[in-house]
């Protein structure tokens, strides 16, 4: 009898132990965690982006633009406020053009207390990018990842100096990518986010949860349209900002290629009629009579398929390919005209539009 009872008790304890292992929530009902040590023991950790902020924030600087007074050229008054991002150990800073557009002197304040006068290396009004440079040792540089691709739903943090309150971090997600409707020429693609971007945040950093630079904060929707809206802000993708910076450092300005055509993406019905091999082409709707395309023989309703051997994928890709081509070079453009493929050689001109 005693052996039977002991065996029954043993089986019961073994079953209870197996249940506790298989269903961890039963353990919390038996011994509810009450102290911080208990919470750590069961891996209940608090979500925090502290590491990302500590990696990125030191490289986000405050920018003060100063201008001489009209009556006294010896006096400088601070007339603009913004932010910037140190992206190189050589002291290069990316910020917005509108932050420094009217400045006679630019002052940069680092988060470690250092203050430096900045040199304006170059600016590009079309993309609203300006490149500054400061001198200094052991400058903090923001983490960069050229392989990162912004995706809708990614968590992002906006770091800057809104209203000169001091460095501030706001939180949100990427709401959309490729937003071109608010750009001056309708071509530049912005990242849309619901992270708050206010006056003074312009030129600051939009970073991911690893602290890597995603974009340069540039505008909020209400600033662009004067509508009372919330949670709609924009940033220039880092890949574009970096490309503009490299051009400015190399040439002192941004040199863009130009062929002089305007077009629109082929709709799905037309693409089915043309066949899958022509998917991604654009229909030419207008040709600049004084541009390279007109000289090469382009006409309206031509369908552009390839430029310099690169298959295009919509209107934006045409802009991207053409602007990267060096003025003076001649490239072959493959078009479809009345069902027949033709190759037209086009000599690239420089885009001098603002």
Given 251, 272, 293, the domain boundary residue is 251
Provide the residue range defining the domain that includes 215. Answer: 155-251
What mean pLDDT comes out for the span 36-60?
A: 76
Catalytic residue among 65, 83, 98, 265: 98
Domain membership flag for residue 142: no
What's the pLDDT at 185?
52
Rg (CA), the chain: 28
CA distance 329 to 347: 6
Query: For position 95, which CATH number holds?
Result: 2.40.10.10
Domain membership flag for residue 146: no
Task: Give the tens place of pLDDT for each residue, 12-36.
Answer: 555 555 555 555 555 545 445 545 5
C-beta neighbour count of 140 within 10 angstroms: 17
Given 251, 271, 286, the domain boundary residue is 251
Same domain, 75 and 41: no
Query: For position 280, which CATH number holds?
Result: 2.30.42.10
Please say whether the beta carbons of 159 and 56 come within 8 A.
Answer: yes
Same domain, 110 and 183: no
Catalytic residue among 83, 175, 202, 233: 202
Annotated catalytic, 265?
no
Annotated catalytic, 183?
no
- Tokens 């349209």 correspond to what residue? 225
Same domain, 204 and 238: yes
Same domain, 42 and 61: no
Given 228, 251, 274, the domain boundary residue is 251
Looking at the structure of the chain, the number of domains it has is 4
Please say whether the beta carbons of 259 and 346 come within 8 A.
Answer: yes
Q: Quickly state the pLDDT bin for 197 (edges 50, 70, 90).
A: confident
Closest CA to 127 of 342, 281, 353: 353
Is the pTM higher than 0.85? The answer reads: no
The encoded tokens of residue 68 equal: 């001489």
Domain membership flag for residue 3: no
Domain membership flag for residue 150: no
More confident residue, 15 or 316: 316
What mean pLDDT comes out for the span 41-45?
A: 50
Domain membership flag for residue 302: yes
Annotated catalytic, 202?
yes
CA distance 203 to 61: 9
Domain membership flag for residue 188: yes
Task: Give the tens place of pLDDT for each residue, 71-100.
Answer: 766 666 777 789 999 999 999 999 999 999
Backbone φ and ψ for 52, nearest 5 degrees, come out as -65, -45
Task: Give the tens place of pLDDT for each residue, 248-282.
Answer: 999 888 888 999 998 888 765 555 556 556 677 88
Same domain, 163 and 235: yes
Domain membership flag for residue 148: no
């Amino acid at each position: 009898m005693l052996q039977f009872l002991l065996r029954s008790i043993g089986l019961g304890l073994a079953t209870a132990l197996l249940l506790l292992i298989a269903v961890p929530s039963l353990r919390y009902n038996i011994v509810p965690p009450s102290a911080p040590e208990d919470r750590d023991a069961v891996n209940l950790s608090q979500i925090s982006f502290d590491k990302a902020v500590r990696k990125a924030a030191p490289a986000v600087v405050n920018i003060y633009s100063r201008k001489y007074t009209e009556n006294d050229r010896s006096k400088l008054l601070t007339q603009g406020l913004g932010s910037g991002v140190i992206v190189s150990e050589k002291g290069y800073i990316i910020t917005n053009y509108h932050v420094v557009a009217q400045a006679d002197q630019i002052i940069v304040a680092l988060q470690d207390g250092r203050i430096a006068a900045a040199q304006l290396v170059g600016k590009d009004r079309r993309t609203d990018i300006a490149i500054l440079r400061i001198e200094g040792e052991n400058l903090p540089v923001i983490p960069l990842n050229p392989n990162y691709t912004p995706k809708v739903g990614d968590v992002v943090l906006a770091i800057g100096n809104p209203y000169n309150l001091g460095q501030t971090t706001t939180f949100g997600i990427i709401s959309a990518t490729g937003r071109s409707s608010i750009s001056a020429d309708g071509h530049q693609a912005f990242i849309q986010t619901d992270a708050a971007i206010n006056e003074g945040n312009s030129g600051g950093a939009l970073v991911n949860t690893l602290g890597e630079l995603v974009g340069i904060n540039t505008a909020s929707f209400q600033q662009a349209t004067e509508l009372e809206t919330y949670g709609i802000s924009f940033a220039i993708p880092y890949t574009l900002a970096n490309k503009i910076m490299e051009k400015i450092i190399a040439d002192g300005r941004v040199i863009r290629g130009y062929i002089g055509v305007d077009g629109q993406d082929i709709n799905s019905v037309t693409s089915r009629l043309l066949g899958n091999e022509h998917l991604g082409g654009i229909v030419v709707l207008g040709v600049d009579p004084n541009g390279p395309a007109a000289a090469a023989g382009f006409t309206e309703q031509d369908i552009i398929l390839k430029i310099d051997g690169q298959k295009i994928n919509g209107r934006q890709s045409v802009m991207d390919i053409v602007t990267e081509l060096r003025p003076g070079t001649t490239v072959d453009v493959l078009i479809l005209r009345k069902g027949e493929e033709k190759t037209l050689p086009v000599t690239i001109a420089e885009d001098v539009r603002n």
